[in-house]
Structure 1
Amino acid sequence: MDPSSSQVAITDGTKRSSNLDLEKGPVEPSSDLEATTADEAEATAADEKRQVDNHDKDPDIVSWDGANDPENPMNWTNRKKWFNIAVISILTVLTPLGSSMFAPGIRRILAEFHETSPTVATFILSVYILGFAFGPLIIAPMSEIYGRSPLYNIGNVLFTVFSICTALSNSIGMMMAFRFLMGVAGSVPITIGSGSIADIMPVEMRGRAMAAWALGPLLGPCIGPVAGGYLIRAAGWRWVYWLIAILAGIVSVFTFFTLKESYAPVILERKAARLRKETGNQALRSELADLSGHAVEKIKVAIVRPLRLLFLTPIVTLMSFYVAITYGILYLLFSTFSLVYPQYYGFGEGESGLVFIPTAIGMMFGISIFGALSDKSVKAKLDSGEQHRPEIRLLPWLTLPAGLTIPVGLFLYGWTIQYRVHWIVPMLGSLIFAFGLMGVMMCIQNYLLDLYPRQAASVTAATAVLRSLAGALLPLCALEMYEALDMGWGNSLLGFISLGLAPIPLLFYTFGARIVKRSQPKD
């Protein structure tokens, strides 16, 4: 750059600064928050300057080629970003289909394998969700070591293989074993999808991206039984898994060629490896490289990270507990759909699948509305000149209505079934419940993602462990609970529990910043 032009730019900047000072006077922080924001901005600038200085001093550090390097996922075009998110969203719709698509045919499966236990009938549905609980503990840390793309591709292939094995099952035990493995493999996009979003999306656009991604794991279990009921009646339950295997095989080939790696440390490490090969300089290393130890040690640390976040970080612990209870209630309701509507309203296999549609509608409205409102709140704060705070995702006018809507839906669902009110009314109750559930989950997921963007996959895994365990185990208590309390008081009990949990987001909206400072994860 020409020295004279640099001097002109500096002089011009000085003049502008002087004029600004004369017109507006000295700028002073108007509150403690603004003072803190200014201090944080200075600290960030200092850190960036130190990174630049270190890079200048050490020519062996491999970094991005400037602030606008197209290889940096944050600099991808919007079209490329949304295409990646669309592909991941397709995966998150497909893999949860296996959890409940066969639900309308449970009675037929039990008859074929000569099984009469109602607990076994419920566990056939739940065992898949157990796979969702244990898979993330391995998948999340692996994605933070080897990248997102390889995990997606391996998971797709294994999911296809296990779907075929389930279709060929010749005993109830074999079927449940392969359904568990389907859940483990199918948990890949659900576990690391949020991490992929954090890799490429700025904070003011994450709410909408999370909404697109979250549609899959929550709509999949609702959409599946709709098609599954009629497919089972026409061709048998095995064709549910043959259909899933065919779809998964097609998607596996498609994602292998289209899904791009988005995890910055892995991209820079690949760049460093390429340069080491081209230049022969073996000292070259990534700016984001983890130099803490050998690969085995890194894997051990990474595997433990989700559990440390879950049990040693109060924010993750309580938020995960809230999500787990509400998610478990969702699957508990799912387990009643296939029994209640045939028994109380005389629905057949095909019609029993249709009862999931109101829940899907409630989820779609909840995801769309709360995702958009969340981003709008963040953008408004940024446009006003404030620094983004994750607590904005937990604004009371967002989280409190969502939390209160959940028990309202449960009360309506339970009591209208008990008194044999027309079937459209309990379906409306499940719609209201699903709407509130999505509001709670969207706010919490976006909040945790903003808190730990570099550890997004591990945080998602931490929440997925409790959430999936609750989704798998709570339905096992359903039959005994409803026998003791009936539908009215049974669902009222669940409503009162969810009502007691509703203030948790408000707690972290008020005190979250202080708690984060005292409980930051070590790695």
Structure 2
Amino acid sequence: MAVGDMNPQEALGHELPLFVHSDTTTTPSNPRLGHDTDAARDQTDIEIVPAGAAAEPTAKTCDEAALCALVDELDTSETIVNMSVALYMLSMSIFPIWWSAFSEQFGRRSIYLVSFALFIVFSILCAVSTNVAMLIVFRHLSGGASTSVQVIGAGTIADIWESHDRGRAMSLFYLGPMLGPLLGPLLGGVLTQHLGWRSTMWFLAIYGFVLTVAICFLLPETLARKSEPAMTHELTRMSTRESIKVKSNEFTTALKHYLIEPPSVLLLLRFPPVFLTVLIAAIAFSSVYVLNIAIESGFAQPPYSFNQTTVGLTYMSTGMGYIVSSMVSGRWMDSIMAREARKAERYDAQGKLIYLPEDRMKENDWVTNTIYPLSLLWFGWTMYYGMQYMAPISALFVFGFSSMLHFTLGTTMLTEFVRKRSSAGVAVNNFVRNILSCVGTIVAAPWMKGAQKWRGDG
């Protein structure tokens, strides 16, 4: 039984085995959907969801290129400005928990539209900020608004795609969150250099507007419709006191449901399959932000001494790894799952294959958890010894390829461990990985300074 097959109280009160068996057969369309699945796939294939998922990391890294300009124009310190970055990452961890809960109640599309409308407003308020306090507050709020697609997007994929080809869809979805940190610094640097730091905020507002229009007209609702409960009692007169009591109870229930209960989703970490998947994926994801800082500082220093534009271009090696991996990793995982089902001769009464989430792991888990750490060592040592620049750049490509496979595998499995609340598992993953990413961003620079002292450079 999967966690999502129970209500939250039941799910959090039962132990799970190491692997959660989720029997999923091949069916022509997803019976949970209230519309034609193929039409929904055609709509989603134009990459609205990945583009929306790119908003949050693009906004974060786009603004980082403007930090020096912010210090000068707002007459503040670098430490204070860095608070806006820290609070932004904090909002990336916390807000998705509520977005996930709201999406299960009101639908994916509705939350997309509300969150991006807020993102537009907060980005505009950031652009017209007159002091650093105003900027920090609205950066925090815009960060929270931009995170909805990162968690709900995986739920949209789970709503539409069957288990046997969900890996391919998830690999395409993850292109957005992974390409954002690569394109953001380039866009932020160009805009800040030519138009000032406020132009980055205006760009984000325009980006949010384009996404809102696209979602409004091109993306259908994917969450299964809930049947309305039948009325079992006749209407009766109610006294004013009874009416007030009923309304008060309804308000208390709603307050508990929408504000207090959502954080309880973090208790899913009690279950070994969820905890292990989230922890391993979060460590890999945080390494992306540490690596980005290492790229910027490493290539800007001797013996490379690249200018800002050239340093930005080195990020493209990682991006190419992401793109190539997204083209092959999803299909590869789906084929492995089908292979294992055939090997175990798991068929239903109609002769269709029965898939299990853990079938995706097999050699994928060993490959990803071996190659991406080795690629980090490859990059670090070649930079440390100042080898020809193609050596560390090649390591970046390998890291991009292997880490994308890792992220796709983890997210896909979480949507299957928590089938009926697919975005809840992803929200937990998002919470942990962004906390670790925030820590990684803070400690990366001291780590590199320590390495320089160890080497005797400083």
- RMSD between superposed Cα atoms in Å: 3.2
> CA distance change for structure 1 residues 235 and 299 in 2, over 3 Å: closer, same or farther?
closer
Q: In the alignment, what sits opposite 1:435?
A: 401
Distance 2:453 2:201 in 1: 32
Distance 1:123 1:294 in 2: 36
Q: Is the aligned partner of 1:343 residue 2:301? A: yes
Q: In the alignment, what sits opposite 2:268?
A: 309
Q: Is the aligned partner of 1:332 residue 2:264? A: no
Given the two structures, how large is their TM-score scaled by the length of structure 1? 0.71
The alpha carbon displacement at 1:122 in A equals 5.4
The alpha carbon displacement at 1:487 in A equals 9.3
Instruction: Count residues with an aligned counterpart.
Output: 408
Instruction: Give 2:51's aligned amino acid.
Output: I
Distance 2:338 2:234 in 1: 45
Instruction: Give 1:314's aligned amino acid.
Output: P
Structure with greater helix percent = 1
The alpha carbon displacement at 1:324 in A equals 1.7
> CA distance change for structure 1 residues 480 and 448 in 2, over 3 Å: closer, same or farther?
same
> CA distance change for structure 1 residues 68 and 106 in 2, over 3 Å: closer, same or farther?
closer
- 1:123–1:476 Cα contact (<8 Å) kept: no
Bigger drift between 105-114 and 466-475 goes to 105-114
**2:130 aligned to which of 170, 183, 195:** 170
Distance 1:214 1:165 in 2: 29
Q: Percent of pairs identical after alignment?
A: 24
Bigger drift between 168-177 and 238-247 goes to 168-177
Residues 420-477 of structure 1, C-alpha deviation per residue, up to 9 Å, x if partnerless? 2233322222222222221221111112222211121110011111101111122111
- 1:402–1:436 Cα contact (<8 Å) kept: yes
- 1:226–1:357 Cα contact (<8 Å) kept: no
The alpha carbon displacement at 1:151 in A equals 0.8
**2:378 aligned to which of 392, 396, 412:** 412
> CA distance change for structure 1 residues 457 and 70 in 2, over 3 Å: closer, same or farther?
closer
Instruction: Give 1:416's aligned amino acid.
Output: T
- 1:417–1:488 Cα contact (<8 Å) kept: no
Matches within 5 A, 1:290-301: 294-299=253-258
**2:60 aligned to which of 61, 80, 99:** 99
Q: In the alignment, what sits opposite 1:371?
A: 330
> CA distance change for structure 1 residues 135 and 433 in 2, over 3 Å: closer, same or farther?
same
List structure 1 runs of 4+ shifted beyond 6 angstroms: 67-71
Distance 1:469 1:157 in 2: 26
Q: Is the aligned partner of 1:219 residue 2:179? A: yes
Residues 114-172 of structure 1, C-alpha deviation per residue, up to 9 Å, x if partnerless? 4554x556555444322210111211111112221211110110111111122223334
Distance 2:128 2:274 in 1: 40
Distance 1:128 1:146 in 2: 26
**1:203 aligned to which of 131, 152, 163:** 163
- 1:104–1:349 Cα contact (<8 Å) kept: no
Distance 1:379 1:296 in 2: 44
Distance 1:422 1:122 in 2: 33
> CA distance change for structure 1 residues 196 and 72 in 2, over 3 Å: closer, same or farther?
same
The alpha carbon displacement at 1:110 in A equals 3.0
> CA distance change for structure 1 residues 433 and 260 in 2, over 3 Å: closer, same or farther?
same
Q: In the alignment, what sits opposite 1:464?
A: 430
Q: In the alignment, what sits opposite 1:18?
A: none
2:54 is paired with a residue whose SS is: helix
Q: Is the aligned partner of 1:233 residue 2:193? A: yes
Residues 202-251 of structure 1, C-alpha deviation per residue, up to 9 Å, x if partnerless? 11121111112111111111122223322222222221221121121122
Given the two structures, how large is their TM-score scaled by the length of structure 2? 0.80
The alpha carbon displacement at 1:72 in A equals 4.7
Q: Is the aligned partner of 1:139 residue 2:136? A: no
User: Which stretches in structure 2 are left out of the alignment for 5+ residues?
Assistant: 1-20, 236-251, 347-353
Matches within 5 A, 1:242-261: 242-261=202-221
User: Which stretches in structure 1 are left out of the alignment for 5+ residues?
Assistant: 1-36, 46-66, 283-292, 490-523
- 2:371–2:402 Cα contact (<8 Å) kept: yes
Q: Is the aligned partner of 1:389 residue 2:356? A: yes
Matches within 5 A, 1:479-518: 479-486=445-452
Flag the structure with larger Rg.
1
Q: In the alignment, what sits opposite 1:511?
A: none
- 1:104–1:352 Cα contact (<8 Å) kept: no
Distance 1:429 1:175 in 2: 37
> CA distance change for structure 1 residues 481 and 332 in 2, over 3 Å: closer, same or farther?
same
The alpha carbon displacement at 1:399 in A equals 1.5
Instruction: Give 2:369's aligned amino acid.
Output: G
Q: In the alignment, what sits opposite 2:242?
A: none
